[in-house]
């Protein structure tokens, strides 16, 4: 990572080479909101015939994604970051690679035939879907995708970009705040208040103002070490948020400072 909190592609060129088997990259960072140039990394990985995997969980409900344009081998996202429930998600994979892969668990619906001496499996994707699937989760995820498409990802991106800028400008008015915002961030802003633990900030905002933010290392402890912090406060903006929500947040953050005498 560079000093501007974006991915260091020069370093990527140094570490990806002939001994690289798999390259995995987040399309959008869930910790900072950085929009990574996944296409460039994939192109580099392909040079060395490495398998490429994109984690699109943080970007799927916020920007248009084209797997054919990205040319990735696999792409994944979880439903709960796209207005669906927990416990449902999507794995896209190129058919020829899915054909070569062995099933990772076994059960009804994924076998073609079985006897005491051998077994054969269904073609992809069915050989990976053993047992009773999360039917209700899949139905709701489908409706969530319809909901996103009805609004339109271009409209979502435009609205959220405006809201991110509004939030950033409001946060800058708070004394003692450190904002970890890359120039190309999307829908997420991470920050800390000087000498106040991020967990305390989140707790007071929740208890006193009914505002829910995330606090901690966001499954990115090496990043927190790089930033030299234990964790950060993370605002995750979406189409249901408004400028009034942000104004309420600013009031709440100033109250947090009062509580701690800052």
List the chain domain ranges: 9-151, 153-259
Q: What is the mean pLDDT of residues 57-62?
A: 95
In the CATH hierarchy, which fold is given to the domain comprising 153-259? 3.90.1150
- Residue 254: per-residue pLDDT: 96
Look at residue 262 and tell me whether its pLDDT is greater than 80: no
Active-site annotation holds for 198: no
* 148-167 pLDDT tens trace: 999 999 999 999 999 999 99
* 243-260 pLDDT tens trace: 999 999 999 999 999 999
* 63-99 pLDDT tens trace: 999 999 999 999 999 999 999 999 999 999 999 999 9
Q: Select 9-151's CATH number: 3.40.640.10, 3.40.1710.10, 3.65.10.10, 3.40.50.300.
A: 3.40.640.10
More confident residue, 151 or 6: 151
- Residue 154: per-residue pLDDT: 95
Q: What is the mean pLDDT of residues 228-238?
A: 96
Look at residue 185 and tell me whether its pLDDT is greater than 90: no
- Residue 181: per-residue pLDDT: 87
Look at residue 1 and tell me whether its pLDDT is greater than 90: no
Question: Mind giving me the DSSP string for the chain?
Answer: --TTSS--HHHHHHH-STT--EEEEESB-TTT-BB--HHHHHHHHHHTT-EEEEE-TTTTTTS---HHHHT-SEEEEEGGGTTS-TT-EEEEE-HHHHHHSPPSS--TTSEEEE-SS-EEEPSTTGGG--SS--HHHHHHHHHHHHHHHHH-HHHHHHHHHHHHHHHHHHHTTSTTEEEE--TTB-SEEEEEETTB-HHHHHHHHHHHH----EEE-TT-HHHHHHHTSS-EEEEE--TT--HHHHHHHHHHHHHHHHHTT-
Q: What is the mean pLDDT of residues 7-33?
A: 93
183 band by pLDDT with thresholds 50, 70 and 90: confident
User: Which one of the listed residues 198, 212, 219, 233 is annotated catalytic?
Assistant: 219
- Residue 229: per-residue pLDDT: 95
113 band by pLDDT with thresholds 50, 70 and 90: very high
């Amino acid at each position: 990572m560079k000093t501007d909190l974006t991915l260091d592609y020069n370093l990527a060129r140094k570490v990806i080479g002939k001994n690289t088997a798999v390259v995995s990259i987040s399309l959008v960072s869930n910790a900072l909101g950085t929009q990574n140039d996944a296409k460039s990394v994939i192109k580099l990985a392909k040079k060395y015939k490495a398998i490429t995997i994109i984690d699109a969980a943080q970007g799927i409900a916020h920007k248009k994604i084209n797997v054919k344009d990205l040319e990735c081998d696999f792409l994944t996202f979880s439903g709960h970051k796209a207005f669906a429930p927990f416990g449902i998600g999507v794995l896209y994979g190129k058919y020829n690679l899915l054909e070569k892969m062995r099933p990772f668990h076994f059960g009804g619906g994924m076998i073609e035939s079985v006897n005491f001496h051998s077994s054969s499996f269904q073609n992809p994707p069915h050989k990976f879907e053993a047992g009773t699937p999360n039917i209700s989760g899949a139905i709701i995820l489908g409706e969530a995708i319809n909901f996103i498409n009805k609004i339109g990802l271009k409209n979502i991106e435009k609205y959220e970009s405006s809201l991110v800028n509004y939030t950033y400008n409001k946060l800058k008015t708070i004394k003692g705040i450190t904002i970890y915002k890359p120039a190309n961030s999307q829908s997420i802003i991470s920050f800390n208040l000087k000498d106040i633990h991020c967990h305390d900030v989140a707790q007071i905002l929740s208890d006193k103002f009914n505002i829910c933010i995330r606090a901690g290392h966001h499954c990115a402890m090496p990043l927190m070490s790089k930033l030299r912090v234990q964790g950060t406060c993370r605002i995750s903006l979406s189409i249901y948020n408004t400028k009034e929500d942000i104004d309420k947040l600013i009031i709440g953050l100033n109250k947090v400072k009062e509580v701690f005498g800052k």
